[in-house]
């Protein structure tokens, strides 16, 4: 692995180790993060191959941590002179500082969660284009209302090496693929869209057999046709049932970021100082687990070299802990949880979610909906906005239905869910027995960095949620 990362550059592994040792001498923590990546994306749109891109990247990020001060420098010039300049810059963070007890190196307890493969190379370019063309043709033949189809295949492969003081080295190769289908349907002059996607840390072969891609296309068409007959959503305070799986993105945003270590160390989270207190209804257990094999948010090691793990955040309504990277864990005097993540070598790590989900309960989903006398059932979500400090959120429902007397009736369009995470956690009345993870489409943004994540939840009944709609 290291030979691959140091090939074709004027920098040897030994030189990198020597410079890293010197840059981190006397500091609390830090690392040299080396990355070599490749990415590919193909989009078949409007009956033709519209875009096809291939990119490669290579670079380093050197970080020095002294107390609460971080020095970070990055570059794409993989030379000894460039790394020496970076070391000189980051060493300013430890000027006048001498660590009493430098942080111990991460434990090597990780197991590989994904194969060392190159999804960009297999299948080759031609068969990929043919597959996208087949998806386009299938969607158009499936329903006469389909007027536009967009199908995308994208893949990345990143090889990383993390060097720490004392010659510690950690390696990982990370594949990631995604297949998505978007359709537009039209009837009597009205147009609506539908979308479906899937992916994970595996080869394309896991997702592109005929049965799988047809199911994806069928779902995109189904959701578009539902929206075609949707009526304006009502507005007001009402009970809402969220479907399993992808709607867990609401929990991810509304409470997940508030449970990240940096916000709580700085006292800016709504959950600061509440360890051991009840913050959610009984039965609510929320987990962050980056050690699930093959999932989009999973990592064999995080971006500091720490093995990922299953971290219990909330157990039966009681706050148990936060997600931690190395720096915030050290400053808060707790154990790191393997949640130190970064978008690329050009970014310093910070505490971030991996796969964050709520465990299932004991109530069948059918019974939960039957208990909803007048409200909204929302099985699918789009984008949203969240204020981390207060937990206040606004989420758009891409698929929702009016429910009356326990029966799912007409679909509604333009529904938004408005509330705040801490309050919503206490308003959960029923927890379904159908916990599901999302299909592998999540991207999380924080401080300008985007990373792949997973979400999930069972069917949830939430009381007195504010619904914004367009009905008058």
In a domain, 336, yes or no: yes
pLDDT in tens, 139-153: 999 999 999 999 999
pLDDT range class, residue 391, cuts 50, 70, 90: confident
Cα–Cα distances in angstroms (integers) from residue 328 to residues 90, 110, 207, 261, 401, in the given order: 19, 21, 38, 6, 43
pLDDT (average), residues 292-312: 97
11 domain-assigned: no
In a domain, 15, yes or no: no
Q: Is 179 a domain residue?
A: no
**What is the tens place of the pLDDT at every residue in 19-32?**
999 999 999 999 99
> In the chain, how many domains are there?
1
pLDDT over 80 (residue 169): yes
pLDDT confidence band for 3 (50 / 70 / 90): low
Lowest mean pLDDT among 297-311, 326-340, 388-402: 388-402
pLDDT digits (tens, 9 = 90+) for 99-114: 988 999 999 888 899 9
| 185 has a pLDDT exceeding 90 | yes
Is 260 contained in some domain? yes
Q: What is the pLDDT of residues 269-278, one digit of tens each?
A: 989 999 999 9
**Structure confidence at residue 16 (pLDDT):** 96
pLDDT at 1 over 60: no
Which domain, by its residues, includes 284?
236-468
pLDDT band at 415 (very low <50, low <70, confident <90, very high): very high
457 is a domain residue: yes
- Extract the tokens encoding 172: 């990982």
Residue 79 placed within a domain: no
**Confidence class for position 9, pLDDT limits 50, 70, 90:** confident
pTM of the shown model? 0.95
Look at residue 444 and tell me if it is in a domain: yes
Q: Return the higher-pLDDT residue of 111 and 201.
A: 201
């Amino acid at each position: 692995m290291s030979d691959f990362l140091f090939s074709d550059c004027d920098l040897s592994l030994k030189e990198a180790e020597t410079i890293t040792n010197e840059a981190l001498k006397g500091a609390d923590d830090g690392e040299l993060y080396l990355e070599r990546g490749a990415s590919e994306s193909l989009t078949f749109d409007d009956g033709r191959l519209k875009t096809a891109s291939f990119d490669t990247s290579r670079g380093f990020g050197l970080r020095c941590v002294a107390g609460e001060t971080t020095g970070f420098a990055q570059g794409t010039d993989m030379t000894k002179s460039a790394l020496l300049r970076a070391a000189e810059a980051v060493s300013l963070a430890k000027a006048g500082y001498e660590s009493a007890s430098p942080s111990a190196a991460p434990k090597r307890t990780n197991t590989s969660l994904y194969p060392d493969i190159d999804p960009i190379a297999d299948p080759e370019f031609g068969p990929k284009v043919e597959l996208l063309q087949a998806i386009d043709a299938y969607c158009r033949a499936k329903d006469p209302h389909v007027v536009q189809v967009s199908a995308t295949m994208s893949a990345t492969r990143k090889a990383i090496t993390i060097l720490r003081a004392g010659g510690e080295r950690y390696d990982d190769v990370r594949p990631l693929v995604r297949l998505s289908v978007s359709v537009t349907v039209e009837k009597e002059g009205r147009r609506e869209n539908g979308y479906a996607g899937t992916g994970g840390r595996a080869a394309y072969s896991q997702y592109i057999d005929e049965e799988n891609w047809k199911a994806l296309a069928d779902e995109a068409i189904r959701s578009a046709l539902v929206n075609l007959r949707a009526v304006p959503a009502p507005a007001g305070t009402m009970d809402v049932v969220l479907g399993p799986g992808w709607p867990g993105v609401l929990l991810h945003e509304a409470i997940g970021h508030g449970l990240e270590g940096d916000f709580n160390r700085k006292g800016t989270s709504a959950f600061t100082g509440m360890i051991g207190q009840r913050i959610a209804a009984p039965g609510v257990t929320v987990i962050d687990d980056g050690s699930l094999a093959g999932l989009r948010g999973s990592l064999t090691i995080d971006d500091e070299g720490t093995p990922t793990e299953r971290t219990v955040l909330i157990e039966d309504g009681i706050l148990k802990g936060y997600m931690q990277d190395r720096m915030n864990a050290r400053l808060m005097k707790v154990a790191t949880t393997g949640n130190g993540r970064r978008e690329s070598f050009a970014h310093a790590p910070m505490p971030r979610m991996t796969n964050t989900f709520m465990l299932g309960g004991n109530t069948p989903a059918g019974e939960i909906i039957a208990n909803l006398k007048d409200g909204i059932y929302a099985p699918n979500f789009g984008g949203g906005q969240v204020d981390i400090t207060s937990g206040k959120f606004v989420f758009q429902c891409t698929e929702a239905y009016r429910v009356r007397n326990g029966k799912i009736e007409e679909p509604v369009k333009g529904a938004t869910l408005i509330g705040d995470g801490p309050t919503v956690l206490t308003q959960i009345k029923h927890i379904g027995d159908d916990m599901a993870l999302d299909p592998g489409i999540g991207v999380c943004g924080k401080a300008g960095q985007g990373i792949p994540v997973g979400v999930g939840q069972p069917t949830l009944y939430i009381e007195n949620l504010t619904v914004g709609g367009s009905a008058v």
